[in-house]
Amino acid sequence: MLKLWKPILADLGAQPLDLSPRRFGLVVACDGGLLEVSGLSVPVGAMCRVSHAPGKSLAAEVIGFRNGRTMMMLLGDMILLRPGARVWAEGRPGLLPVGDPFLGRAVDGEALPIDGGFAIHSRLEWPAGGVRTSALDRSPVRLPFDTGVRALNALTTFGVGQRIGVMAGSGVGKSVLIDMIARGASAEVVVVGLIGERAREVSDFVERHMQAEKRDKTVVIAVPADHAPNLRLRGAMLATAMAEHFRARGRQVLLIMDSLTRVAHAAREIGLLLGEPGAARGYPPSALATITKLVERAGNSAASGGSVTGLYTVLADGDNQDDPVVDTARSILDGHIVLSRDLAQRGQYPAVDIAASLSRVMNDIVPQDHQQLARQFRALIASYETNRDLVLMGAYRAGADPQLDRAIAMHDQLTGFLGQPQGEIVPLDESAAQLAALLGVGR
Ligand SMILES: Nc1ncnc2c1ncn2[C@@H]1O[C@H](COP(=O)(O)OP(=O)(O)OP(=O)(O)O)[C@@H](O)[C@H]1O
Ligand SMILES: [Mg+2]
């Protein structure tokens, strides 16, 4: 117990005593979660408290200012809030708590524990917007990243420090796939941001991943769908800041964000509330810029030798691959896994659509013969899929196309290779060996 108290007391001792007068602002307008406060000059990103009942206060965050008024967004409900309520600033603007005390813990968007454990006391802080580094500090992706999923390891090999998107419509298996990767991946620290998802999934995830020895290397930041948009955005920033902090200490980090689309939705809500015009599908330009910035923060660091491998799920609304978030994500990410509803409906899980999935760094990180085999596999799958109807109708006569003959003969083995039960982990070298065995035997 004394061990817990000592750093806290040391910290308190180190803080200079602030005897300057406290400044308050007054709430002058409130609509739709947006507060206008007069008389308080605090920077964007500052956290404030609004007193709404004697001895009680609500949290709010500064998101902009206009005509001498400060605009804030409430983090909770606006129940009992009245005109003229007092507002004061709190904490240090733009800085988020990070550090080892978060390992093994689950927290919300304000970095407060949600796992029922002790309060988290961390003395380290990291800028919410990240530390801007020069483009040349990003060392290239050189080492393969083991996902523990055979189809991905063998056919779209990803690299350490790569940013990968998992794109699919709703209910096709994004969350289950990243769950498999979180379990099978080799990483020193796993930071998971569950943003805008269902609360049930959060408790499921925490229960499954916060066990035994894995617990000490996992941080979960969860902000379910019913939380205020700026809290969701803050959760995404906190997860990214946490990953950056561990990277700066030379660790290999896996950052998982489920889902990037909900982060974009949160940024859209805030942008529209501040009066920005909505452009593509109602997304103001700032919302798309927010996700670009967020994704750009993952990658390798030459200075520390650490890395952040980013895994982001993207909801392709209505299975529409031309959604602005899908488009932006695809252009900024270095690889994407596309899941197909057709395959899921046929019972093939994970429902990876190999033809549409791509790793832009695969050719730099795997040997020539592996690349060759992966190309062969893709060609066989593509050949079967394009002629699938003909084959199933019996309109195809064997011998007309040797490639298709081989694809038909091997079809069961090929789909068997792509499938993998949820609890199974297939390491990278074994995936490559199985691919070689599969295509070698069928030759
Ligand atoms: N590998 C798998 N094995 C068996 N069933 C699966 C697998 N992956 C997904 N499913 C089934 O698909 C359902 C939906 O999966 P999941 O929750 O991962 O979808 P999602 O793409 O994350 O959806 P949403 O966009 O709504 O969050 C699961 O509840 C499960 O029944
Ligand atoms: Mg999901």
| pLDDT at res. 350 | 92
Spatial CA neighbour of 332 closest among 271, 282, 264: 264
Cβ contacts of 107 within 8 Å, gap of 6 or more: 113, 114, 115, 120, 219, 220, 221, 222, 238
Structure tokens, 83: 């005109």
pLDDT, tens only, 310-368: 999 999 866 565 688 988 888 899 999 999 998 999 889 999 999 889 899 999 999 99
Report the C-alpha gap between 152 and 431 in whole angstroms: 9
Find out whether the beta carbon of 422 lies less than 6 Å from any atom of ligand 1: yes
What is the percentage of the chain residues whose pLDDT exceeds 70? Answer: 95
Report the C-alpha gap between 436 and 421 in whole angstroms: 21
Structure tokens, 352: 């990876």
| pLDDT at res. 442 | 43
Residue 131 has pLDDT above 60, yes or no: yes
pLDDT, tens only, 62-73: 988 888 899 998
Tell how strand 56-66 and strand 69-74 pair up: antiparallel
Using 50, 70 and 90 to split pLDDT, how confident is the model at 256? very high
Spatial CA neighbour of 299 closest among 183, 145, 81: 145
| pLDDT at res. 115 | 87
pLDDT, tens only, 141-154: 889 999 999 999 99
Residues with CB under 5 A from ligand 2 (ion): 175
Contact 189, 197 (CB under 8 A): no
Using 50, 70 and 90 to split pLDDT, how confident is the model at 54? confident
Find out whether the beta carbon of 205 lies less than 6 Å from any atom of ligand 1: no
Average pLDDT over residues 190-203: 90
Tell how strand 218-223 and strand 189-195 pair up: parallel
Find out whether the beta carbon of 167 lies less than 6 Å from any atom of ligand 1: no
Average pLDDT over residues 184-192: 90
One-character DSSP codes across 58-90 = EEEEEEEEETTEEEEEESS--TT--TT-EEEEE
Which atom of ligand 1 approaches the CA of 420 most closely?
1
One-character DSSP codes across 90-153 = ES-TTEEEESGGGTT-EE-TTS-B-SS-PPP---EEEETT-----GGGSPPP-SEE--S-HHHH
| pLDDT at res. 103 | 93
Which atom of ligand 1 approaches the CA of 170 most closely?
25
Give, for ligand 1, the residue of 167, 175, 340 to mutate: max count of ligand atoms closer than 8 Å to Cβ.
175
Across the chain, what does the average pLDDT equal? 88
Average pLDDT over residues 88-104: 88
Find out whether the beta carbon of 345 lies less than 6 Å from any atom of ligand 1: no
Q: If you measure from the C-alpha of residue 197 to the centroid of ligand 2, how many angstroms do you get, rounded to a whole number?
A: 7
Q: If you measure from the C-alpha of residue 174 to the centroid of ligand 2, how many angstroms do you get, rounded to a whole number?
A: 6
Find out whether the beta carbon of 174 lies less than 6 Å from any atom of ligand 1: yes
Report the C-alpha gap between 170 and 181 in whole angstroms: 19
Residue 257 has pLDDT above 90, yes or no: yes
Residue 443 has pLDDT above 50, yes or no: no
Contact 132, 416 (CB under 8 A): no
Spatial CA neighbour of 279 closest among 332, 228, 231, 327: 327
Find out whether the beta carbon of 350 lies less than 6 Å from any atom of ligand 1: yes
Contact 172, 208 (CB under 8 A): no
Report the C-alpha gap between 153 and 26 in whole angstroms: 57
Q: Whose CA is nearest to atom 15 of ligand 1?
A: 173
Residue 283 has pLDDT above 60, yes or no: yes
pLDDT, tens only, 106-116: 999 889 999 88
Report the C-alpha gap between 245 and 242 in whole angstroms: 5
Residue 441 has pLDDT above 60, yes or no: no
Structure tokens, 183: 């379990």
Find out whether the beta carbon of 410 lies less than 6 Å from any atom of ligand 1: no
Amino acid (1-letter code) at residue 96: L
| pLDDT at res. 393 | 87
Average pLDDT over residues 192-209: 88
Using 50, 70 and 90 to split pLDDT, how confident is the model at 56? confident
Residue 178 has pLDDT above 60, yes or no: yes
The residue ranking higher by pLDDT, 75 or 161, is 161
Residue 16 has pLDDT above 70, yes or no: no
Lowest-confidence range among 46-50, 162-166, 320-324, 375-379? 320-324
Find out whether the beta carbon of 171 lies less than 6 Å from any atom of ligand 1: yes
- Angle at Cα 64 formed by Cα 63 and Cα 66, nearest 5°? 150
Average pLDDT over residues 234-254: 94
Report the C-alpha gap between 226 and 202 in whole angstroms: 13
Residue 47 has pLDDT above 90, yes or no: no
Q: Whose CA is nearest to atom 25 of ligand 1?
A: 170
